[in-house]
Structure 1
Amino acid sequence: MGESLARAQREHWERTYRAHPGMYGERPSESAEYAATVFRPGGTVLELGAGHGRDALFLARCGFTVVAADFSPVGLAQLAERAAADGLAVRTLVQDVREPLGLPDGSVDAVYAHMLFCMALSTAELEALVAEVRRVLRPGGTLVYTVRHTGDAHYGAGTGHGDDIWEHGGFAVHFFPAELVDRLATGWTPPRTEPFEEGDLPRRLWRVTQRRPD
């Protein structure tokens, strides 16, 4: 993906978080509630694309040690303020997922990403990201991610950037075909892919669960 689109998306999210703190509300997503049931109890969870933190805070309340990563310092500052107010130990990490993850090898038990993989990331960037996720996961660790797919109502709408990336309302989304899910699971346990819907459109998504082999 072009650097200009990446920069524009980062700036767009920064403006959005400044204008709408807590834009997704206080309740965790259904995907975070699911993840809490499949991750090893009490383990360390890396959330990619944590935003202002509704899911990271929920996972911390469930007893997980949480590292909340996002490329938006504004969103992470909102998250850190809420975590401190609630007495939750959540570490924040400013992270562009196009770059190597700022964590040691085998340092987390699980990785969670709600709609981060379907941001404006090319297929090559996604493959590099999944390789980094595998690196930081301990053997047997679990990855749960959600993505909008090519059956979504916004697929093909707005401005096309190639590689199934479409920009609509200022937000660029990589809509996943089934083949991409399988491609990103190469070398992992077979992915469990479950369809679900979210929001008023509604957005049509897949929730993918896969594990790094022992």
Structure 2
Amino acid sequence: MPESEQKQEQELAEVQRAHWQQTYGEHPGMYGEEPSEPAVHAASLFHAAGARDVLELGAGHGRDALYFAREGFSVTATDFSPVGLDQLREAAVAHAVAGRVTTAVHDVRESLPLADASVDAVFAHMLLCMALSTKEIHALVDEVRRVLRPGGVFMYTVRHTGDAHYQVGTGHGDDIWEHGGFAVHFFPRPLVDDLAKGWRLEEVTAFEEGGLPRRLWRITQTLPR
């Protein structure tokens, strides 16, 4: 990658990190306490697969991580916002699930802070469609594969190119568009298929969320045994 492009990616990442820090600080618990619909669906899949240890990427202030803990899973919740994770830990104490929740400040552009084959399931709601390049997304999915045990389940959601905000606002290349201060990598379907190579692709389900509404895919893929 040319040095100028690499610098632009790093600058965008820093701006987005600062933006999320400020957002969580100004709007604590901004998504409420109820779990997202994808998390409820994921919990049923994880239970059916016999999962015990769940990794959530981009947990934010923790509404889904707390739900997984209440469902009886041991949860490792990561996010690049210390402010969001502080709120998650406080809520875990309030919900009496602190013993089942571990947090780690982590940027998904770096290797995951877990050992090989150490978790049964991974969940990421709209994390892969943040301001990540296609190369960074592939590297992240490779890391997910590394930390999952054979037969493990990876469920993620992403906004896609059919979303109303696709090609709206400031374009950063690589299908990344910034609108209202938030940068989103809108997924084309071929990217979903590329990320599933070497996995068993279980589902690609379209759904909508929020008042716009945001248009997303829910993707579930399983690591072969």
TM-score past 0.5 threshold = yes
Distance in 2 of aligned mates of 1:103 and 1:95: 11
Contact 2:77 2:104 in 1 (8 A): yes
Alignment of 1:1-214 (within 5 A): 2-39=9-46, 40-41=49-50, 43-88=52-97, 89-214=100-225
Residue 87 of structure 1 deviates from its aligned partner by: 1.5
Distance in 2 of aligned mates of 1:58 and 1:42: 15
Unaligned runs of 5+ in 2: 1-5
Distance in 2 of aligned mates of 1:191 and 1:123: 22
Letter in 2 for 1:16: T
Distance in 2 of aligned mates of 1:41 and 1:130: 22
If the length of structure 1 is used for normalisation, what is the TM-score? 0.98
Distance in 2 of aligned mates of 1:13 and 1:38: 29
Distance in 1 of aligned mates of 2:221 and 2:192: 10
If the length of structure 2 is used for normalisation, what is the TM-score? 0.94
Contact 2:159 2:187 in 1 (8 A): yes
SS in 1 for 2:153: strand
SS in 2 for 1:134: helix
Contact 1:41 1:63 in 2 (8 A): no
Contact 1:112 1:145 in 2 (8 A): yes
Aligned equivalent of 2:3 = none
Deviations 1:87-113 (A, max 9, x none): 212100111000000000000000000
Letter in 2 for 1:58: Y
Q: CA RMSD in A?
A: 0.9
Distance in 1 of aligned mates of 2:202 and 2:193: 7
Residue 191 of structure 1 deviates from its aligned partner by: 4.3
User: 82-91 or 18-27: which moved more?
Assistant: 82-91
SS in 2 for 1:99: coil
Distance in 2 of aligned mates of 1:171 and 1:116: 12
Contact 2:51 2:121 in 1 (8 A): no
Residue 190 of structure 1 deviates from its aligned partner by: 2.4
